[in-house]
Structure formats: structure tokens, C-alpha cells
């Protein structure tokens, strides 16, 4: 697996990846990135760790990053959001960028709402977006991305709520995580110029998993079996209920899984 120099040689990519910090081991790159952002780190600053000992996922979940087998990165952005755009404009970026990077090395990923990346129906990457606002102005956003590159990065089945896999495991060949990082940054650099645009939403939605399929939606109040139709411009899921009516998932919606999934 590549060390710090292999990363440095390929950076920056467009406006992203400078300054660059590499950590052989760290608690969480997102925690460190937030500290750097508070201390004034500029747009495009990038942190990568070989190992995380306290990696964080969405919803307070843990995210494991064993040494030498995964990509763990946090990117600090200070974008100007187009008027009227919602946090969803930032949320979609990470999963789209990972998907395009995986496609560039021959994979066929899908995005599980809102920003998990699946290969062969299993999760290979997750994105944790943390934004700091001053009143209605976005001060900075940290996009944290974790990719299971090698099979050794895949957590045990009992540790995860959704089946996981690795990019190498699905592709059946070795994958260079520097190559993957460069692909992710290239995609982000492109889409950052199109935040809140119809093209960005379309690129994200065309990779959305389970469209036209039955899914089980879980909310604070229970679960329901519905058909997935797509998303609204604000990123809410459009669904068809069992009685044939169209609906939009509410704020209490927590997670979804395909009805034929073998897991919870
Ligand atoms: C999820 O699917 O729950 C999101 C996982 C995000 C993990 C990445 S790894 C790099 C960055 N640092 C963290 O502590 N978390 C994110």
C-alpha cells in the first residue's frame, strides 16, 4: 500500500489537495479536519489517514479503518452555495465523486440514499458531511469519505447494519488507493463548479440504487414497504405507497433497504 509520498506526488488535483496532511494513524480525519478548519485551513485542504482509531460514521456509528487497507480522507471546502440551495447540494457530492472514481477504474457502483456507495449490492464506501454555519452563511464543510479498498477493510457482518464489501473484492483485482483518491478529487473539483445544478442532481440520481424496486423504509415511527421512484430537487425520496399514491419521505425517515435484502 502506498505511503505519504505516493499521495503527495499526485496532489493537488485542480483546486483540491493543498495543503495536504497524511497521518499514519489518527482518531478521526473528520475531527482533525474540523480543528484545522476552525484554525483557518483554506478551501481544498485535504487530510488522509492510513489508519483511524476512532473513525465516525453517520448517525453516531463507528467507522473502522484498519491500517493499509482503506482510504480515509477528509476534505475542507469553503464553497459559495448558490442562492436557494439546500444542504443536500453538499451531501450528494461525496457519493457521486466516489462513484465516478470507481467507474473510472471499471466498477459499476450505485448510490444508496443519501450517500452510501454500493458495489454488487454491498456498501463499499460511506460519506460523512459536517458543515459549520454562521447564521445562514456556510463557513466551511468537511466531506469525510471512507472507502473499503481491500477485503481487510471490510467490517465483520455483525458490526454493520448493511452488508459491506471492498472495491478490490468486487472487482477481483488490486486497486491503488492513490488512484482512487485522485479520481474522487477530480470529480469533486468538477462538480464544485456546478453546486445546486440540475446536471449535478441528474448525475447523482442516475446512479441511485433501487429505483423502480420495492424498499423497506424505516422511520422514527415504524417501517413501510414502498416503491422507490427517485428524489425531489431537495433530495427527499419520492416514493409510491402500497395504495398507489405518490409521496415524499419525511424528516423522520431514517434508512432504507431493498425488500429482498438478507439483512435487517
Ligand atoms: C457512513 O457511511 O456512516 C459514513 C462513513 C464516513 C467515514 C469517513 S472515513 C474518513 C472520515 N473520518 C471519519 O471519522 N469519518 C469519515
Mutate to test the pocket of ligand 1, among 60, 126, 130, 161 (most ligand atoms within 8 A of CB): 126
CB hemisphere CA count around 44 (13 angstroms)? 12
The whole-angstrom separation of Cα 151 and Cα 212 is 31
Ligand 1 atom closest to the Cα of residue 33 is 12
pLDDT above 60: residue 264: no
The neighbouring-strand residues paired with 52 are 26, 65
pLDDT in tens, 114-170: 889 999 999 999 999 999 998 888 899 999 999 999 999 999 999 898 999 999 999
User: Which ligand 1 atom sits closest to the C-alpha of 30?
Assistant: 12
Of 160 and 99, more confident: 99
Residue nearest to atom 9 of ligand 1 (CA): 146
Nearest CA to ligand 1 atom 2: 126
- Centre of ligand 1 from the C-alpha of residue 57, in Å: 5
**Alpha helix stretches (DSSP H) within the chain:** 4-8, 29-38, 88-104, 167-171, 177-191, 198-205
| Residue with CA at minimum distance from ligand 1 atom 3 | 57
141 CA → ligand 1 middle, Å: 14
pLDDT greater at residue 124 or residue 4: 124
> What residues line ligand 1, using a CB cutoff of 6 Å?
28-30, 52, 55-58, 61, 63, 65, 72-74, 116, 126-128, 144-146
Q: Per the structure block, which three cell numbers stand in for 248?
A: 415524499
Question: What is the structure's pLDDT at 261?
Answer: 57
H or E element, residue 137: strand 137-148
Question: Under a CB-based contact definition with an 8 Å cutoff, are residues 225 and 214 in contact?
Answer: yes
Residues 142 and 172: their CA atoms lie apart, in Å, by 32
* pLDDT, mean over the chain: 92
* Ligand 1 atom 10: residue of nearest CA: 72
Q: Whose CA is nearest to atom 16 of ligand 1?
A: 144
Rounded to the nearest angstrom, the distance between the alpha carbon of 56 and the centre of ligand 1 is 5
Window from 89-98, 198-207, 231-240 with minimum mean pLDDT: 231-240
Q: Which atom of ligand 1 is nearest to the CA of 27?
A: 14
The residue nearest atom 11 of ligand 1, judged by CA position, is: 144
Q: Could you tell me the distance, in angstroms and rounded to a whole number, from the CA of residue 123 to the centre of ligand 1?
A: 13
CA-atom Rg of the chain in angstroms: 18
Put the strands of the sheet holding 214-219 in their side by side order.
Answer: 246-248, 237-240, 222-231, 214-219, 253-258
Q: Quote the CA–CA distance of 115 and 244 in Å, as a whole number.
A: 27
pLDDT at site 5: 82
pLDDT at 143: 97
- The DSSP-derived string for 82-95 is PTT--THHHHHHHH
Strands 116-119 and 110-112: antiparallel
How far is the centre of ligand 1, averaged over its atoms, from the C-alpha of 22 (Å)? 16
Mode of pairing for the β-strands spanning 46-52 and 20-26: parallel
> Can you tell me the mean pLDDT for 56-68?
94
Is the Cβ–Cβ distance between 198 and 92 less than 8 Å?
no
Amino acid at each position: 500500500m502506498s505511503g505519504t509520498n505516493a499521495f503527495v506526488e499526485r496532489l493537488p488535483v485542480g483546486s483540491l489537495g493543498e495543503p495536504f496532511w497524511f497521518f499514519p494513524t489518527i482518531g478521526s480525519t473528520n475531527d482533525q479536519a474540523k480543528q484545522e478548519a476552525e484554525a483557518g485551513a483554506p478551501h481544498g485542504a485535504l487530510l488522509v489517514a492510513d489508519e483511524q482509531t476512532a473513525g465516525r460514521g453517520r448517525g453516531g456509528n463507528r467507522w473502522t479503518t484498519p491500517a493499509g487497507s482503506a482510504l480515509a480522507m477528509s476534505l475542507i471546502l469553503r464553497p459559495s452555495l448558490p442562492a436557494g440551495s439546500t444542504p443536500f447540494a453538499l451531501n450528494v457530492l461525496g457519493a457521486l465523486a466516489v462513484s465516478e472514481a470507481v467507474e473510472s477504474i471499471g466498477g459499476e457502483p450505485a448510490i444508496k440514499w443519501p450517500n452510501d456507495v454500493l458495489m454488487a449490492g454491498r456498501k463499499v464506501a460511506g460519506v460523512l458531511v459536517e458543515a459549520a454555519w454562521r447564521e445562514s452563511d456556510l463557513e466551511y464543510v468537511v466531506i469525510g469519505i471512507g472507502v473499503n479498498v481491500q477485503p481487510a477493510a471490510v467490517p465483520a457482518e455483525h458490526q454493520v447494519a448493511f452488508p459491506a464489501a471492498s472495491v478490490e473484492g468486487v472487482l477481483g483485482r488490486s486497486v491503488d488507493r492513490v488512484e482512487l483518491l485522485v479520481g474522487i478529487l477530480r470529480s469533486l473539483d468538477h462538480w464544485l463548479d456546478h453546486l445546486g445544478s440540475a446536471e449535478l442532481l441528474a448525475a447523482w440520481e442516475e446512479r441511485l440504487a433501487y429505483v423502480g424496486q420495492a424498499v423497506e423504509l424505516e422511520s422514527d415511527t415504524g417501517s413501510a414497504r414502498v416503491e422507490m421512484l427517485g428524489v425531489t430537487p431537495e433530495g427527499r425520496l419520492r416514493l409510491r405507497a402500497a395504495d398507489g399514491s405518490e409521496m415524499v419521505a419525511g424528516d423522520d425517515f431514517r434508512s432504507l433497504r431493498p425488500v429482498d435484502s438478507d439483512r435487517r
